[in-house]
Amino acid sequence: MRVTQPIAHGVVDGPDSITGIVVKAMSRTPDPRLREVMECLVRHLHAFVREARPTEEEFEQGIDFLVRLGQASGPGKNEVILASDLLGVSTLVMLLNNALGRGETDAALLGPFWRGDSPACKAGDSIARDARGGEPLEVHGEVLDVAGKPVAAAIVDVWQASPVGLYENQDPAQPEHNLRGRFETDAQGRFHFRSVKPAGYPVPVDGPCGEMLRAQDRHPYRPAHIHFMISREGCKTLTTQVFDNRDNCIAADVVFGVTPALSGDFRRRPDGTWRLDYRFVMQPGTKRIPKPPIP
């Protein structure tokens, strides 16, 4: 084990001195980006404490909340990601990292229910592997680059909640990989698949995040939507969602994921089935597949 010589950062002589002393103690961090991020975290965290001036009891309650977020996370739920979503942090990170103003499709948060092992499907296949109810839906998509050219051979990973508002990996009654699938775009950048019309749903409220929503008198609902993750070498992976613009919660998404451009037109056809058409625009960059929030 390497022994690090201590930095003489000074003695704390009051609340005004501690921030600079902590930053100095971290000043030897070898990774410059880690040093930058941690210094920023300390300065803003200390500024928050100075502004909010939590009591010792409130500080204990806050620490307990963070501990319970971790304790409530596991194979079926990620409360830490959910808390980030409910505080708007997930959406902010996605927007800051993906908005270039070149006509690209808005990014949206990954959410806690994506799986990395969805089955590969053929064009036109149905991802609805549970025949119990649901209104039939056809989804037709087109993937272009910012120059308007088709993006062929892109992998389109799709997932959605069931007609009762539950994802397959949170609902034991659904078959494996229900309402999930991966499709490949053709030479014209097109793909299509069959499904059932998604429903809006409440986020899980049986843990610390539910306590937070109730304490803030907030509703837990998300508008109906379908998730898309589109990837191809030479393009920045696009993670987004397309929402039902007729949903009552379209302007009140509990995780702040809706932007005007992501409000999709789910159209009912004369035969009673539904159809969604949507054009996705990818920007140049690096293909990156995220780590699944739930192992």
Which residue, chain included where needed, has tokens 């109810």? 133
DSSP SS3 for 236: coil
pLDDT at 213: 98
Q: For a pLDDT cut of 90, what percent of the chain falls above it?
A: 82
pLDDT at 5: 67
Query: Hey, what are 230's tokens?
Result: 């589109």
Domain edges within the chain: 18-72, 79-282
Superfamily of domain covering 79-282: Aromatic compound dioxygenase (2.60.130.10)
If phi > 0 it is left, if psi is from -120 to 50 it is alpha, else beta; for residue 229 that is beta
C-alpha distances out from residue 61 to 49, 54, 73, 230, 286, Å: 14, 10, 19, 41, 41
Look over the chain and give the mean of its residue pLDDT values, rounded to a whole number: 93
Q: Decide if pLDDT at 123 tops 90.
A: yes
User: Which residue spans within the chain are E strands per DSSP?
Assistant: 136-145, 155-160, 180-184, 190-196, 201-202, 221-222, 225-231, 238-244, 263-264, 266-268, 274-282
Strand-pair partners of 181: 158
Q: Decide if pLDDT at 2 tops 70.
A: no
For 21-25, what is the mean pLDDT?
93
User: Residue 130's closest CA among 173, 182, 193, 194?
Assistant: 173
User: Residue 27's closest CA among 4, 3, 1, 50?
Assistant: 4
15-24, 208-217, 220-229: least confidently modelled range: 15-24
Q: For a pLDDT cut of 70, what percent of the chain falls above it?
A: 97
Each residue's pLDDT tens digit, 251-278 = 999 999 999 999 999 999 999 999 999 9
Which residue, chain included where needed, has tokens 């993937």? 143
Please check whether residue 160 is in contact with residue 274, taking contact to mean a CB–CB distance below 8 angstroms: no
Q: Decide if pLDDT at 42 tops 60.
A: yes
Q: Decide if pLDDT at 8 tops 90.
A: no
- CA 13/CA 23 separation, integer angstroms: 15
User: Residue 78's closest CA among 181, 167, 162?
Assistant: 167
User: Residue 142's closest CA among 292, 281, 235?
Assistant: 281
pLDDT at 170: 84
pLDDT band of residue 295 (cuts 50, 70, 90) is low
pLDDT at 294: 74
pTM for this entry: 0.88
Neighbours of 139 (CB within 10 A): 24
DSSP annotation of 179 reads T
pLDDT band of residue 138 (cuts 50, 70, 90) is very high
User: Residue 108's closest CA among 291, 218, 253?
Assistant: 253
76-80, 151-155, 197-201: least confidently modelled range: 76-80
Each residue's pLDDT tens digit, 53-71 = 999 999 999 999 999 999 9
pLDDT at 293: 82
For 174-199, what is the mean pLDDT?
96
124-133, 176-185, 197-206: least confidently modelled range: 124-133
